[in-house]
């Protein structure tokens, strides 16, 4: 399973999966610290995909720059 962290609510991380489904995952199931906007994947435990997170954030910034002009 792969998705993006939408938000963190208390003990739960709300993840929007690539298929569009929204799931709640307990924070303790994550191997790393996690924050809103992180791209995550579940192997044995949930992991943050750091490079893909950076790449997606750059792509979003490009689109936002279009609206500033």
Taking only the tens place, the pLDDT of each residue in 13-52 is 999 999 999 999 999 999 879 999 999 999 889 999 999 9
The tokens for 3 are 């998705």
Q: Could you give the number of structural domains in the chain? A: 1
| CATH number of the domain bearing residue 32 | 2.40.50
pTM of the model: 0.84
Domain that holds residue 31: 2-68
CB 57 within 8 A of CB 48: no
Integer-rounded Cα radius of gyration of the chain: 13
């Amino acid at each position: 399973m792969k998705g993006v962290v939408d938000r963190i609510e208390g003990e739960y991380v709300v993840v929007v999966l690539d298929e569009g489904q929204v799931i709640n995952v307990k924070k303790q199931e994550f191997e790393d610290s996690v924050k809103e906007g992180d791209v995550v994947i579940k192997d044995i435990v949930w992991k943050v995909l750091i490079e893909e997170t950076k790449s997606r954030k750059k792509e979003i910034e490009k689109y936002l720059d279009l609206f500033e002009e």
